[in-house]
Structure 1
Amino acid sequence: MTATVPHQALGDTALSLPLLSMGSWHIYDRMDFGLAVRMIRQAIDAGINMFDVGVYGTPDTQPPPLTDILFSAIVRAAGVQRNDYLLSEKLWLEGFDPDKGFRPQLENALFRVGSDHADLVVLGDLRRDDLQLRDLVLSLAELKKAGLIRAWGVNNWSATNIAALIDIARAESVDAPAMAQLKYSVSRRSIPDGAPFAKLFAQGFKMQGSDVMEGGVLVKPTPPEREVGRDPGNIREKIIASVPALAKIAADFGATPAQLCIAFTLTHKHNINTLFGATKLTQLEQAIAAIELVERIGAETIRAAVEPLWADRDVVNPEGP
């Protein structure tokens, strides 16, 4: 497959991110190994060279989390060298050690995935009130100094807390967060499209769109049996009810619902990267085809067509959690 996915520079981080990246949550542990190898090879050849891989569970989790370990075997079998792809790792605030910082957690994650560094780390949701943001920023600066990471961001943080991180980093003369992984879809738009994040984007901050198909709810006739993400605003039933309308809009555009879901995220001016999951080659191909859909239909036309599907309007605070 010819490389067709464009790349963009992530601020001053020296990283160039593809417009699309692939996630690992509930992915590789549900796939035939040979198929996963072919899919990763095909993604790389198309220019999708960024993979979001995390440790999604604890030693007590049953069944034990293995998707990141499987990923390490998949890339080897696909003949992909470490310098051929970007690794995005998750760091969980629940595991932050006040004395040792993030390093033990990251080293364990890198051991599991078979790498000596992560190109990007994304801090999980801020659910602890006993943490000092300065401690987080300085711990990440130490990881950068040690060559364990190249850049960092956050996952579903509020605009106010992100602004605080940026201010702390500036005062300490260390790297600030470069992007936020935010829920963004035809259904969930209030936070990325709101005024608080617009102020951050105006400063060069970027977004990575995630949960773009609501865990599959938007593109399947029945909700998935596996775990899906949180439901801010308790609007999932409303989202499910909108699925027929989404399918009709997609058909009118000569596209699939999955293509339309991904294409919508690409219409946001500050979305540097859209994260998606795929367990079939056809799903990977549809994701790539979403780029062509935006070019063929136009961003404004797509945004106008899906406007009635905006389910969290006036429900979720645009400031973020």
Structure 2
Amino acid sequence: MRYSGAVPRRRLGMRGPVVPMAGLGSWNTWDRMEFGAAVELIGAAVRHGVSLFDVAHYNAGPHAEDATTDVIFGKAVREAGIAREEYTLCGKLWLWDYPASSFAAQIETSLERIGTDRADLVVVGDFLGELDLRSVLTDVSELVRAGRFAAWGVNNWAARDLGRACALAAAEGFTPPSFAQLKYSLARRSVPEGLPYGRLLSQAGLGLQASDVFEGGILAGRLHPRRKIGADPGGIRERIRASFPLVMRAAERFGATPAQLAVAFCFTHPAVATVLFGASGVRQLEENLGALTLLERHGPELREAVADLWLDRDVVNPEASWGTA
């Protein structure tokens, strides 16, 4: 199944920018391929309208590995001849060492490593434990006023904490968050689809950015990925791996690939504006974009087809930040 034409765009929440429905993530994306392949992939992505790139400096908390994926991205985008105004850059600000590691210092380092003077969006994460929300909102708002980025969202925040941030921003005139970036897939639905986040997304007009939609590649058919992959809230990864034959059968029913089904499913959530995924080359990117054709042809049927694949139902707490118990 193929998709022709430019990728459509959606508004990222009521107050966020208009963004492509598909975006490329950065965690171990650009540093696990040949540089020439990265240049080719970035150029092809922008030509297809996949012009949102989620790029971060991974050197804090559990990501204290000083990865070079962001540096490689910056070099590759310049080599591809892509002007800054041709793509949307979504960066990250980490809370692991905040406020000792200030947002101003983090964004300065991140942008310098990429080789640009501004991002378009940033994601503030990960929120585990107590936090001075007023300080977070103050620092984020100051960076917005300074032109370092125009909008922001959160990653791995509990719904109650995001709700508090929205209320405080409205009461005191801070720049409010406009979206949440959450783990969301055929198998992991309890947080994005649970009542706490569902109510918040609707009432606060927040957009949803779906991430980790392939479960590190497992839901796309790479059952035993060798690279580092995301956390396993609820400890259900082995069940996800064992469920892959069901994913295959559901995809075959629609004449699609498992990866296409995984991406298309996420778009059936009414708040999803962008689905982030990784790709190892142009062919895989174009194959994944077939999800948009699948969505056009069979959107209303997809949820019923994968109803039995909701594997974190009653396993994780839909209120929690990581979907933990």
Deviations 1:65-85 (A, max 9, x none): 110000011111111001111
Unpaired segments ≥5 residues, structure 1: none
- Structure 2 match to 1:175: 175
Report whether the alignment pairs 1:107 with 2:97. Answer: no
- Structure 2 match to 1:81: 83
Report whether the alignment pairs 1:187 with 2:187. Answer: yes
1:93 touches 1:128 (CA, 8 Å); kept in 2? no
Q: Could you tell me how far apart the structure 1 residues matched to 2:302 and 2:309 are?
A: 12
Aligned-residue Cα RMSD (Å) equals 1.9
- Structure 2 match to 1:53: 55
- Structure 2 match to 1:216: 217
Q: Which moved more, 1:215-224 or 1:248-257?
A: 215-224
Deviation at 1:282, TM superposition (A): 2.0
Q: Could you tell me how far apart the structure 2 residues matched to 1:60 and 1:310 are?
A: 27
Equivalent runs, 1:65-144 vs 2, <5 Å: 65-97=67-99, 101-129=102-130, 131-144=131-144
Equivalent runs, 1:1-321 vs 2, <5 Å: 3-11=5-13, 13=15, 15-57=17-59, 64-97=66-99, 101-129=102-130, 131-203=131-203, 204-297=205-298, 299-321=299-321
Q: Residue 38 of structure 2: SS of its match in structure 1?
A: helix
Deviation at 1:124, TM superposition (A): 1.4
- Structure 1 residues 320, 180: closer, same or farther in 2, change over 3 A? same
> What percent of counterpart residues are identical?
45
Q: Residue 191 of structure 2: SS of its match in structure 1?
A: coil
1:95 touches 1:102 (CA, 8 Å); kept in 2? no
Aligned length: 318
- Structure 1 residues 66, 205: closer, same or farther in 2, change over 3 A? same
Deviation at 1:280, TM superposition (A): 1.8
Q: Could you tell me how far apart the structure 1 residues matched to 2:122 and 2:266 are?
A: 21
Q: Could you tell me how far apart the structure 2 residues matched to 1:104 and 1:97 are?
A: 10
2:146 partner amino acid? A
Q: Which moved more, 1:7-16 or 1:260-269?
A: 7-16
Deviations 1:203-231 (A, max 9, x none): 21111011101011122343211111111
Deviation at 1:167, TM superposition (A): 0.8
Q: Could you tell me how far apart the structure 1 residues matched to 2:264 and 2:212 are?
A: 13
2:159 touches 2:196 (CA, 8 Å); kept in 1? yes
Q: Which moved more, 1:113-122 or 1:197-206?
A: 197-206
- Structure 1 residues 83, 56: closer, same or farther in 2, change over 3 A? same
Runs of 4+, deviation exceeding 6 Å: 59-63
1:185 touches 1:213 (CA, 8 Å); kept in 2? yes
Q: Residue 219 of structure 2: SS of its match in structure 1?
A: coil
Deviation at 1:241, TM superposition (A): 0.6
Q: Could you tell me how far apart the structure 2 residues matched to 1:121 and 1:59 are?
A: 18
Unpaired segments ≥5 residues, structure 2: none
1:3 touches 1:45 (CA, 8 Å); kept in 2? no
Deviation at 1:318, TM superposition (A): 1.3
